[in-house]
Amino acid sequence: MKHLVLIWCVILLCSFTVGEEKSIWLGDMDLSQFDLETGQAMKNQTTRGDTIIIAGTIYQNGVGVGVPAKYLIDLNSSGSRFYAEVGACDRKFRARPAGTATAGANQQPAGGPGGEMPGGGAPGGAMLGGAMPSGAPGGAMPFGTPRVMPTIEFFVLGDKKVIWSSGPMKTGDKAKVVDVEIGGIKKLALIVVSQSVSGSGPGAGPFGSMAAWGNAKITYTGNVAPKALPLKAIGEEPKILTPKESDLPKINHPKVIGATPEKPFIFTIPATGKKPLQFAIDKLPNGLKLDGSTGIISGTSPAQKGTYTLNILVKNSLGVAKDKIELKVGNLLALTPPMGWNSWNAGGMSVDQVKIRAAVDVISDKLRGHGWAFVNIDDGWQADKRTDDGELFTNQKFSDIKGMSDYIHSKGLRFGIYSSPGPRTCGQALGSYQHELQDAMTWGSWGVDYLKYDWCSYRSISAGNTLEELEKPYKIMQDALVKTNRDIVYSLCQYGMGDVWKWGADVNGNSWRTTGDITDNWRSILNTGFKQTNNADYVNPGHWNDPDMLVIGSVGWSAKTLPTKLTKDEQYAHVSLWSLLSSPLLIGCDMTKLDDFTLGLVTNDEVIGINQDILGHQAKLITKGDDYQVWAKDLADGSKAVGIFYTGTTDGGEKDPVKMINWDQQKVDTSKLINLDFSTLGLSGKQAVRNLWSQKDLGTFDGKFETKVNQHGVTLLKIKATK
């Protein structure tokens, strides 16, 4: 018996050390190394979280990717075979029943990111047919537009040679089998590209179309398993550019605040500097009081309409800062774009009171001094049923909503909530349909200061085919909001339907979503922010286009959040563009994981100043080349803010699959020299140029300015004529 055991042990040991063939599923490798332009590579499911189905055949095993996709594997010369069944995934255009959504349960937000829809997609994950009128800059598709499916092609490469290719394939084609010998190969690359779609640019070329490597596995010998190699961003990553916060007292943005007469008022003077800080105001209108140690102004706004100039003084042991903030009492709120935090991109429906309080603590400690003011709960706070008298209450995750609201206000911050005009929200929670006034009153009693009102299942009530139908639910709620005892900033969310920017102000909206849901990939940034090209003229103080929230920091749409998939350059571009666009700035990340880089992104007062500029203009696209764009806006001080973006795609249109892979993992210089001709901005003569991220003057330039911009990055400038 003893001998037998010994023999077995020897056999077992040998099989582990020499020669024994093993295999590893592609899905069990590090899929985060997949380089995709949209979505994330997913184990055993498509990028939308669906079962992988190729021409009707279900694949329980495999890896779903967006297109284009690249993956590099170190085989260590120990591979023997690569096997997979590949193809384009069957498309289920799920015209979801009204009110249904995958929100919250998914890795990705409702609305099927992963790029299923060209141009950002529509929440609810469906092609909404008539519900998406044409012209939404975020890519809402004109109703009836035929969908052109790209042809895709799979390649398997070994050490810089194509060893297998599928030839062109389209949705509905049977999977093709790849079964190739890979003996002796050091590095294996897997590529999927899209081949033919009319036109170019977002929505065409890299379409986000779903492909899959079904039953993909590598057989190998030896003890070192094949390993994924990094492909993404092997260039120089930018550093924290925002200078370290000064110890000297400084008064930051906003410099103007709106209120309606005789409503509760709460505002914190945005100031930084070594603590403790002391605050003073020369003359405060009756009804308001200042807490001199925190800078929180609270009370009731004046009954008399008009502009009240608050002369502010902030001091600490090192010095004194003085500035003016205008309090405008009238009919308008949000005179600069709302700045704050929203829970959706930081956990979707998993939001709870504990997370909100944690966010409040970080915001009041680190961000409030830079103007960040709102703490907004998105979907997921509602109870399953209304009370017998129809009241909408909170679920168990929010056991003390009033206590939470008081806590938010005690920190000088403002409290936002979310609902839908339909019977259900996008996350399937209860909406406000036929309870609008009652809900508004409930929120008023909780101390709500901001409402995001999201169309969602309202499509089961109305197709929204006419302007009247589109405006109706928003008017009903607006009528209800003004009856409350609060100043409630009104944020319309209906993804741009019916060119909402043309009429959002008529229903007293302060901002309106112009796009489908954002996700943390470059394609999504191109399809949201960079699509705001035809709506700038509708923006002015109190009325803002909203291309959705920021996807920086640790983000995710289920309880687990992960570092944003945007590169650092892409994050600079994202925040710069949102600032230029005067978009609401709503951070959507897990605040308890706020790292120094992300903190730098949201505490640069010169960049924030572009967003909060009191003129309230939205930047316009000035010039556009194949791979770069220049956006600019006028500022109140007579200067211009200019963003020079290198928007080019990863491969620069590369057609040769071998060249698509950075085989030797070399650092690549991803930058490009871009020339800004001042005449395109309507400027002549000498201009003083300042870099806003580094807060450094770059000098005086005549006629033009040349700058090196990293791929998907930005140079953000302030340009002012010299005297």
321 Cα distance to chain centroid: 35
Write out the binding residues for ligand GAL, residues 70-109 only, by CB under 6 A.
103
DSSP code of 589? Answer: S
Question: Chain-centre distance of CA 311, in angstroms?
Answer: 36
Both tokens of 334, joined, read: 């949000």
Name the active-site residue from 50, 90, 454, 590.
454
Q: According to CB under 6 A, which residues from 293 to 352 bind ligand GAL?
A: 344
- Annotated catalytic residue within 517, 590, 605, 613: 517
- For residues 135-165, b (16+ Cβ closer than 10 Å) or e, as one string? bbbbbbbeeeeeeebbbbbbbbbbbeeebbe
Q: Does 550 bind ligand GAL (CB under 6 A)?
A: no
Nearer to ligand GAL among residue 351 and residue 440 (C-beta): 351
Closer Cβ to ligand GAL, 215 or 425, answer by number: 425
Q: Judged by CB, which is closer to ligand GAL: 116, or 454?
A: 454
By the 8 A CB rule, do 220 and 29 touch?
Answer: no
Classified as helix, coil or strand, 587 is strand
Which is closer to ligand GAL, CB of 122 or CB of 211? 122
529 phi, psi to nearest 5 deg:
-55, -50
Contact 138/46 with Cβ under 8 angstroms?
no
Choose one: 31-39, 395-403, 421-429, 677-685; the region binding ligand GAL (CB under 6 A). 421-429
Query: CA-based angle 382:385:387, to the nearest 5?
Result: 105
DSSP 322-360: EEEEEEEESS---SS--EEEESTTBTGGG--HHHHHHHH
**C-alpha–C-alpha distance, residues 432 and 422, integer Å:** 6
Decide if 517 is catalytic.
yes
Query: Under a CB-based contact definition with an 8 Å cutoff, are residues 257 and 231 in contact?
Result: no
Binding region for ligand GAL (CB under 6 A) out of 11-19, 134-142, 423-431, 525-533: 423-431
Binding ligand GAL (rule: CB under 6 A), the pick from 36, 72, 86, 110 is 110
What distance in Å separates the CA atoms of residue 616 and residue 635, rounded to the nearest whole number?
8
Contacts of ligand GAL in 429-468 (CB under 6 A): 454, 456
- Shortest CA distance to 489 belongs to which of 635, 346, 300, 340? 340
- Give the Cα separation of 330 and 374 in Å (integer): 21
128: contact with ligand GAL by CB under 6 A: no
427 binds ligand GAL (CB under 6 A): yes
Pick one of 153, 245, 517, 590: the residue that binds ligand GAL (CB under 6 A). Answer: 517
Binding test (CB under 6 A) with ligand GAL, winner from 37, 379, 436, 651: 379
Q: Give whichever of 344 and 646 is closer to ligand GAL, judged by the CB atom.
A: 344
**Binding of ligand GAL by 426 (CB under 6 A):** yes
**Nearest CB to ligand GAL, comparing residues 514 and 710:** 514
The answer to the question of residue 613 lying near ligand GAL (CB under 6 A) is: no
Q: How far is the CB of 464 from ligand GAL (least distance, A)?
A: 14
Using CB under 6 A as the binding criterion, the count of chain residues that bind ligand GAL stands at: 13
CB of 330 to ligand GAL, least distance (A): 30
CB 124 to ligand GAL: min, Å: 7
Residue 354's contacts (CB-CB under 8 Å, 6 or more residues apart) are: none
Binding flags for ligand GAL, 479-508, as an x/- string (CB under 6 A):
--------------x---------------
416 binds ligand GAL (CB under 6 A): no
**How is residue 229 written in tokens?**
């190699």
Q: Which residue has the tokens 């070329």?
A: 205
Please tell me the distance from the alpha carbon of residue 265 to that of residue 296, in angstroms, as a whole number.
10
573: helix, coil or strand?
Answer: helix
The least CB distance from residue 417 to ligand GAL, in Å, is 11
Among 14-22, 57-65, 213-221, 419-427, which window interacts with ligand GAL (CB under 6 A)? 419-427
Residue closer to ligand GAL, measured from CB, 378 or 613: 378
**Which one of the spans 194-202, 234-242, 319-327, 422-430 is the region binding ligand GAL (CB under 6 A)?**
422-430
715 binds ligand GAL (CB under 6 A): no
Q: How far is the CB of 425 from ligand GAL (least distance, A)?
A: 5
Stated length of the chain: 723
Nearest to 212 by CA among 60, 83, 64: 64
- Retrieve residue 586's tokens: 């709503």
CB of 143 to ligand GAL, least distance (A): 19
Give dist(CA 723, CA 717) in Å, integer: 19
The span from the CA of 527 to the CA of 516, in Å, is 9
656 catalytic residue (yes or no): no
Q: Which residues are at the interface with ligand GAL (CB under 6 A)?
A: 103, 110, 123, 344, 378-379, 425-427, 454, 456, 493, 517
Just list the catalytic residues.
454, 517
